[in-house]
Amino acid sequence: MHVMFVHQNFPAQFGHIASYMIKNLGWECTFVSRTNQGVVEGIKKIQYSVAGGATKRTHYFTRTFENNTWHAAGVYYGLRPVHAVLQPDLIVGHSGFGSTLFLPELFPKAPVLNYFEFFYYPHNSDLDFRKDSKILEEDVLRSRCRNAMILLDLEYCTAGYSPTEFQRSLLPEAYKEKVRVLHDGIDTEFWKRTEPKERAYGAMKFSPDTRIVTYVSRGFEAARGFDVFMRAAKRIYEMYPNVVFLCVGSERVAYGGDMRFIKEKSYKEHVLKQDNYDLNKIRFLGTLPPAELVKVLSLSDLHIYLTVPFVLSWSVLDSMACRCTMLCSDTAPVREMIKHHETGLLFDFHDDKALAEMAVEVLKDPEAYRHLGHNAEELIRKHYSMEVIMPQMVDLYQDVANMKVDARQAGFHKPAAR
């Protein structure tokens, strides 16, 4: 079988799936992205380009759709010269970029399977979850338009899947039956706790009685509760001085509009200016390669994670796989993985005092809470490991590949010259 993946980045959510299918099933996999062409682990890469996009003259509410349309067009025109020799049996794409929208015109017989990551809402959502954050009226109105391409993908795709029940629950009722729940999978042979010869990372060495707290986020931002974490961290080291915090992430805002409301160059800088923090206690390690992150997580006595109701970070499952004792915000995406006093501990996102108090209780006696990390690791291995997920992914791909394409949505004409 020939599967064609479409995502603006490589390998994104699909690279490891393509590698598995090539190595274990002998399938042919093509990957269409904005990255350079070539062959990676047997995956044939095709590059597409985006010729335009939204400008300041484009209405703020529709800029996302404008950009997505240009992506969809870029994929179409990038594949048009070679479509006759490709002929995939299945097209798999990431919804939102509109990457697969026009492809039935090139590949009328190929079913389309879209990956649905998030559906936006103006109220009772990630946008207004934080009562202490500023929300502009234009952002509330814009949120009603952000789903335009996602809705088109839901309508035109043959089938879809979402990585968690929470993410699928956000989709309109009319389309939910079309979408399954299936996670991307965690490589538990890679993401597993190691026993370091000494309690050290880089030039930092820690005594046996020093407690190590870890925090991981792609960007230090309000959506992932960086400010709440920092306030709690100060409370923690004031109550329990023999502690160090290892923070992994970049000084950028990946999600949300934090930078529109501050003067500083980064949200991290903004938060640090709000109080006097002891940076000997709180160490910022920057963005780390996965192998280095495993080393950090293997040192952890306690791992803290916060998020508004948004896409759950992969780092949560990676940390669970590394047997970390998890202390997480009690929000909907988190509750799907963390059960209080079973696979971790939960606290009110807005209550940094409660976070600090729970953290100190763990730090006083980490061994009393180690079973939570073991339970978390078992959950990941039992339900989210590659050994469990990949056969399910193969079944899904085969099921959709065998589905009949709706004749009203398939293309039938030979594309004319541009």
Separation of alpha carbons 130 and 309, rounded Å: 10
* pLDDT recorded at residue 412: 55
CA dihedral 257, 333, 318, 352 (to 10 degrees): 70
Count structural domains, the chain.
2
364 and 310 in one domain? yes
Torsion sign over Cα 181, 184, 190, 194 = negative
pLDDT at residue 418 greater than cutoff 60: no
Q: What are 140-158's pLDDT values in tens digits?
A: 999 999 999 999 999 999 9
Q: What are 107-146's pLDDT values in tens digits?
A: 999 999 999 999 999 999 999 999 888 889 999 999 999 9
CA dihedral 37, 39, 40, 41 (to 10 degrees): 160
Average pLDDT over residues 85-100: 93
Residue 372 lies inside a defined structural domain of this protein? yes
pLDDT over 90 percentage in the chain: 92
Residue 35 near residue 12, CB atoms below 8 Å: no
* pLDDT recorded at residue 415: 55
Average pLDDT, the chain: 95
DSSP one-letter string for 228-266: HHHHHHHHHHHHS-SEEEEEEEESS-SSS-GGGS-SSSS
177 and 210 in one domain? no
Residue 43 near residue 8, CB atoms below 8 Å: no
Residue 112 lies inside a defined structural domain of this protein? yes
* pLDDT recorded at residue 149: 97
Q: What are 172-210's pLDDT values in tens digits?
A: 999 999 999 999 999 999 999 998 888 999 999 999 999
Query: What is the β-pairing status of strands 43-47 and 38-40?
Result: antiparallel
Separation of alpha carbons 90 and 18, rounded Å: 12
116 and 65 in one domain? yes
Query: What is the β-pairing status of strands 2-6 and 204-205?
Result: unpaired
Nearest in space to 156 (alpha carbons), one of 233, 99, 234: 99
136 and 206 in one domain? no
159 and 212 in one domain? no
Question: Domain span at residue 360?
Answer: 200-381
N-to-C CA span, the chain: 30
